[in-house]
Structure 1
């Protein structure tokens, strides 16, 4: 994955450089997107572009580019069959470090790169994820996909130290989301519960298609917060993200979910999601 995009040019990754006075570096004044690539095709690109442009608007960053063309070129030039495209936009470069940002017409810094990753045949889909819960101490605008990811990184390291796969974060004993995934549960009666869209969670792109697939399976969907106890007593649990797609959760804080194996309804949602993605990909060929 040698070729990257930087401010209008495609350059070797070792030649791509940004200023030390870039606000993305100094203040995390930047937003990003991660787009799945399956069979050499971008997954849900239009939804990712919509979310990227919303994030830019929420931070008043003036950035315009052909996001689709940039991403497609990176897929083609790097011969990427399965993996990710990472897109990042910062407010741009300052003359010196200053909290107040420069004039609105300051040129943003835009870069993107390709990354190989196993998505379809991830072995965790068969074993399931083990999760621990921790307080959600992030800022209050989690609906904006910024590069302020230090707390998420700390929680991923805490999960690693605990010998589990990841963390679900909580506020007042209510689960918000994972470190880089939306969190969901399914009750024994087939009701799927997913946190409502608000400033406490990122509006996941994979979550959109997952909910469509769940409704097509005639599962009842409730978009609301759920407690740690609800999650532990659920029949099934899972996460959604561009990197994990739909991934089952089999343990929370050492408590087995259901029978401790990936749930049948979760498996069905994952299979239906994969089929939908591959069908969309075939239409583009």
Structure 2
């Protein structure tokens, strides 16, 4: 009986330990919906081994487009796809919302309010806003390619503004949204140009990398993400032969998903419970 109790105790300890250490399988974002004040302004791109190409805006196509990862990006969902067209309304946005690790995550395109401040009419260089923060990050990252004087930077900023550069960087192409089961880290792929020099008004002979900007809301926090480092996606957009060639990965410190027991652990605990139940019956019968 003493040996039996030791075995049962050890089994229970192992079972409880397993429950405490087995993480939930959070995986990728699920239940994705498209919304925002310009909810219909998005494109869905599928892919093969060589190209990305536009497909119908269906929930199944959206799900497939977001199924990749950093090692193998697939298609993508472009939010606020009309940002480069004449007469673009910079006050509206398109968003992508889903659940990951049991929490809601919303990814969105940017508006003029995001860049320059809510209700602000000034768009000047030197103002305290996202436009200047991002622009200074670009200049600091590629300092040898930009003027060093304040006046020179202002000229570049004004030219970029006039050329609708901020609109051009406001329509992120979301290629995947995944979460690490242990750390909770959420990884978001942004499909863009592997060489974005011309998008910044620089010579195409230069190797300059810059992603589009994505706005996110997660676990009560709203912020902006962008990157100046791309990996080669191995893909090219079929119609222009250049888009989606780079994969820029940005991250959010997500909340680790709650631990759940594996089926084998549950079966083991059920077996232990069965032993105790049988033991109680035997004791009762012997009385």
Rg bigger for which structure? 2
So what's the TM-score if we normalise by structure 1?
Answer: 0.22
So what's the TM-score if we normalise by structure 2?
Answer: 0.22
Structure with more of its chain in strand, by fraction: 1
